[in-house]
Amino acid sequence: MPIKHIVMWNVRGESPVKKAEAVEFLRSRFEGLHGLIPGLLHLEVGVDSSGVDYACDVVLYSVFDTLESLAAYATHPAHLRVRDELGDMRISRHQVDYVVS
């Protein structure tokens, strides 16, 4: 059964411009994973447009074919490279994984 993997982040930024640059960097790095991860069926990165103070800056919406594929993604070299490139730019992270019935 497919697994949906949703992650939301807030990112560092000393100014609105710096924050927008960080968001774009994060977006481009995750979108660069298309076609590199076995079992990754769909990957989409969204940037908040609401501007409300409780919103996260970025969301990653992805779908994996199996729970095993999602587990393998966590340690896949391409994913680890992205995680390392992002370093400490992420100041908060929220995640939900669920089986699609």
Q: What is the mean pLDDT of the chain?
A: 95
> Would you state the pLDDT for residue 101?
86
> Would you state the pLDDT for residue 92?
94
Q: Is 51 exposed, middle or buried (0-12, 13-18, 19+ CB in 10 A)?
A: exposed
pLDDT tens for 37-63 read 999 999 999 999 998 999 999 999 999
Residue type, 81: R
Domain-by-domain residue ranges, the chain? 3-99
Tokens representing 78?
A: 């391409």
Top-level class of domain 3-99: alpha beta
Average pLDDT over residues 81-96: 94
Distance CA 99, CA 101 (A): 6
Distance CA 13, CA 20 (A): 8
Rounded to two decimals, the pTM is 0.91
> Would you state the pLDDT for residue 51?
87
pLDDT beyond 90 at 7 = yes
pLDDT beyond 90 at 25 = yes
Average pLDDT over residues 71-78: 97
